[in-house]
């Protein structure tokens, strides 16, 4: 979408505009949301796992997905170890924990931005000390 990677995210799960889900969702791979979720959203920690939320999509709960592309609204914290892309219509009411963040003019965050440290190889640090 906004990232330099021109490939669209792979979508395994689609939640349509007229759908409202009440409860937590755990998914594998990629998920696109046009509807509403009242609950937490989590995915596997695989590097390609992506959640994309359109302008009509909303989540009331926390999000734990490696990659998040947001055009809609999230009321809760976002934990994205890899990348967060916030479009012009994105609204976040909560803290955003990210590896890399991209924001377009107009995106709003009512909370803190917290950069997550990249996953370093602990063995390399231990070998240097010893």
Residue 85 lies in a domain: yes
| Interatomic CA distance for residues 9 and 33, integer angstroms | 13
Provide the pLDDT for residue 56.
97
Residue 6 lies in a domain: no
Closest by CA to 31, choosing from 15, 48, 47, 7, is: 15
Residue 70 lies in a domain: yes
Is residue 128's pLDDT more than 70? no
- The region of weakest confidence among 9-13, 81-85, 105-109, 126-130 is 126-130
Provide the pLDDT for residue 2.
45
Provide the pLDDT for residue 70.
98
Residue 71 lies in a domain: yes
Range of the domain at 54: 13-129
How do 96-103 and 113-115 pair as beta strands? parallel
Domain count for the chain, please give it: 1
Residue 26 lies in a domain: yes
Residue 3 lies in a domain: no
Residue 7 lies in a domain: no
pTM of the predicted model, to two decimals? 0.84
């Amino acid at each position: 979408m906004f990232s330099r990677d021109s490939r669209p995210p792979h979508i395994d799960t689609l939640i349509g505009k007229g759908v409202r889900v009440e409860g937590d969702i755990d998914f594998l791979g990629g998920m696109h949301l046009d509807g509403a979720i009242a609950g937490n959203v989590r995915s596997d920690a695989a590097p390609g796992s992506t959640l994309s939320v359109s302008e009509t999509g909303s989540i009331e709960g926390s999000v734990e997905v490696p990659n998040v592309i947001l055009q809609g609204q999230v009321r809760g914290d976002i934990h994205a170890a890899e990348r967060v892309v916030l479009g012009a219509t994105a609204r976040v009411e909560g803290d955003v924990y990210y590896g890399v963040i991209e924001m377009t003019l107009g995106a709003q965050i009512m909370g803190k931005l917290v950069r997550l440290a990249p996953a370093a190889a602990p063995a390399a640090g231990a070998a240097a000390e010893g």
